[in-house]
């Protein structure tokens, strides 16, 4: 959850941390138990250009997740909100000040080998945009369709398509398609040593909308996100690692964002879940217009409390 940008979550199968949410709704159907969890985070960072600090960033956030099933009907809901405290600089690129994300997942049909799920996803953001010298409020909403398939006892593959519509205070409406694919593997048994790995890719299509008489143009870049996870659990102690890389282009500049997150949690078969995560994030310009001096780096720490039923 430590990112203010993209959901920290599992894609094809649920995390061994039962209070972590999943991105593709069908994956909720692989959950072993009902759970509820809350998480609080704080983070710090800087954005530097030409060796001078443009932004000192201080963020705080709250997240929650609930998952349960009634027979074959699986429900999951998650909330994630991050606020960044900083002084906007009109001479620099845009800066995100607030992000709130909600995801509701339903598994409509499934058996032990195949699941179909759908979900509703919304994300509201408030950014400071230097070109308009104002705060831009945007809302993205989308419906997700997804499937997940078990291959043998250890492997799962899955995919999802999300149609996203964006509305904002200063820009024309826009819409585009996100597609996600992933593969996960899990070895061991609950109660013993359990190892879970996952790799997934999300691609977001480019979509540019011309300005209208009253509103600015809305250009959504092509975005590629790769997530990899490694989780090891023994004696109820979970060590979780996740890496996310995100690449995209804005106005002829290529950006690469990278994030590493590690967590340590106590996860019983039922009862109290608690633990903590820490993460490091970086963002830099790459490619032809590479600027070695332009970097944004954040570190964050969070604690989590939950319950498995």
Partner 1 sequence: MKIPYLFLGALLIWGQPILGQIVTSSIDPGLPSETPSAISWRFGSAVAIESTYGERYYVYDAVGTHNIHNSGLFTWQPSQVSIELYSRVNEIIDSVDSSTDTFFETRGSQSYFSIAVRGENRVSVGIIARQNEQTSPLTFSESSFGGSFSARVFDGLFMAVGLERVSSSGTGFETVRWEETKSGIAYLVGDPFSTMLRIELGVSSSPEVKDDVLKIRNQTKMVSKGEIELLLANYLFSFRGKIKDLGSGTNAETTRSARFGIGYRGTSFSLVYYFDYGEEEINSKIFSESKYLFNISYSFM
**Which residues are near partner 1 by CB under 8 A?**
40, 42, 44, 58, 235-237, 264-266, 268, 271-272, 274-276, 278, 299, 301, 303-305
Measured CA to CA, the distance from residue 70 to residue 76 in angstroms comes to 12
Tokens of 230: 């490694």
Q: Shortest approach of partner 1 to residue 304 CB, angstroms? A: 8
Q: Shortest approach of partner 1 to residue 169 CB, angstroms? A: 30
Comparing CB distances to partner 1, the nearer of 177 and 193 is: 193
Q: Shortest approach of partner 1 to residue 136 CB, angstroms? A: 27
At CA 227, angle to CA 218 and CA 24, rounded to 5?
75
Q: Shortest approach of partner 1 to residue 16 CB, angstroms? A: 14
Measured CA to CA, the distance from residue 200 to residue 281 in angstroms comes to 19
Question: Beta-strand (E) ranges in the chain?
Answer: 35-49, 52-70, 73-85, 95-110, 114-129, 134-151, 155-168, 174-188, 194-204, 207-209, 218-220, 223-234, 237-250, 253-266, 271-286, 295-308
Q: Shortest approach of partner 1 to residue 305 CB, angstroms? A: 7
In 3D space, the residue among 18, 1, 14 whose CA is nearest the CA of residue 272 turns out to be 18
Q: Shortest approach of partner 1 to residue 301 CB, angstroms? A: 5
DSSP string, 223-286: EEEEEEEEEEEETTEEEEEEEEEEEEEETTEEEEEEEEEEEEEE--SSEEEEEEEEEEEEEEEE
Comparing CB distances to partner 1, the nearer of 178 and 242 is: 242
Specify whether the CB–CB gap between 240 and 267 falls below 8 A.
Answer: no
Comparing CB distances to partner 1, the nearer of 271 and 287 is: 271
Comparing CB distances to partner 1, the nearer of 84 and 138 is: 84
- In order of 158, 205, 295, the CA distances from 39 in angstroms are 27, 31, 28
Q: Shortest approach of partner 1 to residue 277 CB, angstroms? A: 9
Pairing between β-strand 174-188 and β-strand 155-168 as defined by DSSP bridges: antiparallel
Comparing CB distances to partner 1, the nearer of 152 and 192 is: 192
Comparing CB distances to partner 1, the nearer of 52 and 252 is: 52
Measured CA to CA, the distance from residue 67 to residue 77 in angstroms comes to 7
Comparing CB distances to partner 1, the nearer of 191 and 287 is: 191
């Amino acid at each position: 959850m430590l990112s203010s940008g993209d959901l920290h979550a599992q894609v094809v199968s649920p995390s061994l941390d039962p209070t972590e949410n999943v991105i593709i709704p069908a994956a909720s159907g692989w959950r072993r138990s009902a759970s509820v969890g809350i998480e609080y985070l704080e983070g710090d960072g800087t954005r530097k250009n030409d060796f001078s600090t443009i932004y000192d960033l201080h963020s705080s956030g709250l997240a929650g997740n609930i998952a349960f099933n009634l027979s074959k009907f699986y429900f999951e809901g998650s909330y994630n909100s991050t606020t960044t405290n900083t002084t906007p600089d009109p001479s620099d690129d845009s800066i995100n000040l607030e992000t709130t994300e909600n995801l509701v997942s339903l598994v409509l049909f499934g058996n032990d080998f195949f699941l179909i799920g759908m979900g509703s996803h919304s994300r509201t953001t408030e950014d400071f945009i230097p070109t308009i010298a104002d705060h831009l409020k945007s809302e993205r909403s989308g419906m997700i369709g997804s499937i997940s398939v078990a291959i043998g006892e250890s492997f799962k593959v899955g995919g999802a398509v999300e149609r996203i519509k964006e509305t904002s205070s200063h820009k024309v409406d826009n819409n585009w398609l996100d597609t996600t694919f992933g593969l996960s593997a899990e070895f061991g048994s609950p109660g013993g040593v359990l190892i879970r790995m996952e790799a997934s890719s999300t691609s977001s299509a480019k979509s540019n909308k011309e300005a209208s008489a009253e509103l600015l143009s809305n250009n959504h870049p092509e975005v590629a996100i790769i997530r990899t996870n490694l989780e090891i659990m023994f004696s109820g102690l979970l060590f979780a690692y996740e890496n996310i890389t995100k690449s995209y282009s804005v106005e002829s500049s290529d950006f690469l964002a990278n994030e590493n997150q590690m967590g340590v949690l106590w996860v019983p078969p039922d009862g109290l879940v608690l633990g903590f995560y820490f993460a490091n994030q970086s963002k830099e310009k790459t490619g032809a217009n590479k600027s070695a001096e332009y970097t944004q780096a954040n570190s964050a720490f969070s604690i989590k409390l939950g319950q498995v039923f």
